[in-house]
């Protein structure tokens, strides 16, 4: 058994590697719009897709090279985007409720259709590539079969805007959150509601699964960061719940270690919580989406879609250690 002093030493080494040995390469992604509502990484993290006004741009993340641009279809602002796990498809939804499926390599639109009666607020692909889910301000959730592009299920369990939809990695669960303060868990294969989770007291703005698919975490306007153990869908258990930041929490994301958590807020603050400490940074503009990125497993960046400063990339080494 390791002695306590040795374990403490290892903990401190890991912490300082996380916050100290990072490059100072903090930069912006070039965008036409200063208001960006959604960003998504490819499964390997090499490419970043950006909802830039009425277009979607895909960049090679490290050198900021523009790889492709998807335009000429959306007539209103793109609010939500998603990339398939095999990096062949891009889905985008806009303010009018239009959903577009694109060929990621050619940049051509495969299909466009009116999926919602109001704003599409979130889209996501299942990790096996079989399903595409959409969530909208018309209080509806749609589930599409990717191969046929048929709508195979519509869920109307939310009574307010459905703000976010996410699929469980390696599993059959689909999670949604909305303005009614509820988190809904569905079985996408059986197309049924599994459980309604009711820990929040205000709008739920974002959801994320750990990469192993065992934990679901949500956050929103009540500042609560709530987690559930979903290993057994028949016995879902609350894991933790703590209020963080101030104002509305707009975004939550896990690093692939399944322990490091990134939060973004409407007040323009971001917060990285690790197993051994926490870091904060003030962006001074509302954060619509915040994602963690690393090219080596040690160097951490917070990649931010902001309401006023486009896409910002903040090195963890530039953040305040609390």
Q: What confidence score (pLDDT) does residue 84 get?
A: 98
Residues 6+ apart with CB under 8 A from 176: 135, 141, 155, 158, 162, 164, 165, 166, 183, 184, 186, 207
Token digits of residue 111: 């299909």
Are residues 279 and 19 in contact, defined by beta-carbon separation less than 8 angstroms? yes
Q: What are the Cα distances from residue 298, in Å, to 16, 18, 241, 251?
A: 10, 6, 27, 22
Q: What confidence score (pLDDT) does residue 234 get?
A: 87
Distance (Å, whole) CA 49 – CA 100: 15
Sorted by where each begins, the domain ranges of the chain are 4-321
CA torsion angle 51 53 58 63 (round to 10)? -110
Q: Would you write out the chain's pLDDT as a tens digit for each of its 322 residues? A: 334 443 433 343 344 344 433 333 447 899 999 999 999 999 999 999 999 999 999 999 988 999 999 999 999 999 999 999 999 999 999 999 999 999 999 999 999 999 999 999 999 999 999 999 999 999 999 999 999 999 999 999 999 999 999 999 999 999 999 999 999 999 999 999 999 999 999 999 999 999 999 999 999 999 999 999 999 988 999 888 899 988 899 999 999 899 999 999 999 999 999 888 899 999 989 999 999 999 887 789 999 999 999 999 999 888 888 7
User: For 109, what's the count of Cα atoms within 13 Å in the CB-facing half-sphere?
Assistant: 15
Q: What confidence score (pLDDT) does residue 322 get?
A: 78
Distance (Å, whole) CA 243 – CA 232: 26
Distance (Å, whole) CA 245 – CA 308: 20
Are residues 123 and 83 in contact, defined by beta-carbon separation less than 8 angstroms? no
Residues 6+ apart with CB under 8 A from 235: none
Token digits of residue 145: 């079969």
Q: What confidence score (pLDDT) does residue 299 get?
A: 83
Question: Which CATH number applies to 4-321: 2.130.10.10, 3.30.1950.10, 3.30.420.40, 3.90.1150.10?
Answer: 2.130.10.10
CB-neighbour burial class of residue 190 (10 A; exposed 0-12, middle 13-18, buried 19+): exposed
Are residues 141 and 151 in contact, defined by beta-carbon separation less than 8 angstroms? no
Are residues 215 and 185 in contact, defined by beta-carbon separation less than 8 angstroms? no
Distance (Å, whole) CA 186 – CA 233: 10
| Region of residue 44 (left: phi > 0; alpha: psi -120 to 50; beta: else) | alpha
């Amino acid at each position: 058994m390791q002695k306590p002093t040795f374990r403490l030493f290892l903990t401190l080494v890991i912490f300082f590697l996380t916050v100290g040995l990072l490059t100072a390469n903090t930069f912006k992604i070039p965008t036409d719009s200063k208001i960006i509502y959604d960003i998504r990484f490819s499964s390997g993290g090499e490419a970043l897709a950006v909802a830039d006004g009425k277009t979607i741009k895909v960049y090679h993340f490290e050198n900021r090279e523009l790889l492709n641009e998807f335009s000429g279809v959306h007539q209103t602002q793109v609010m939500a985007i998603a990339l398939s796990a095999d990096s062949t498809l891009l889905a985008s939804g806009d303010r009018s409720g239009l959903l577009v499926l694109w060929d990621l390599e050619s940049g051509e639109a495969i299909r466009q259709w009116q999926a919602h009666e109001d704003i599409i607020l979130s889209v996501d692909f299942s990790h096996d590539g079989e399903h595409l889910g959409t969530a909208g301000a018309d209080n509806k959730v749609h589930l599409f079969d990717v191969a046929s592009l048929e709508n195979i299920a519509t869920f109307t369990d939310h009574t307010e805007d459905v703000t976010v939809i996410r699929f469980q990695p390696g599993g059959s669960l689909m999670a949604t959150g909305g303005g009614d303060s509820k988190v809904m868990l569905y079985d996408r294969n059986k197309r049924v509601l599994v459980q309604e989770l009711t820990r929040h007291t205000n709008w739920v703005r974002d959801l994320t699964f750990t990469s192993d698919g065992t934990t679901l975490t949500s956050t929103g306007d009540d500042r609560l960061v709530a987690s559930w153990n979903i290993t057994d869908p028949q016995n879902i258990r609350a894991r933790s719940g703590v209020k963080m930041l101030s104002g509305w929490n707009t975004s939550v994301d896990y690093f692939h270690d399944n322990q490091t958590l990134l939060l973004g807020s409407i007040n323009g603050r971001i917060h990285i919580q690790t197993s051994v400490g926490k870091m904060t940074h003030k962006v001074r503009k509302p954060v619509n989406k915040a994602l963690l990125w690393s090219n080596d497993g040690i160097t951490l960046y917070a990649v931010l879609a902001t309401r006023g400063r486009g896409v910002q990339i903040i090195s963890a080494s530039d953040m305040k250690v609390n």
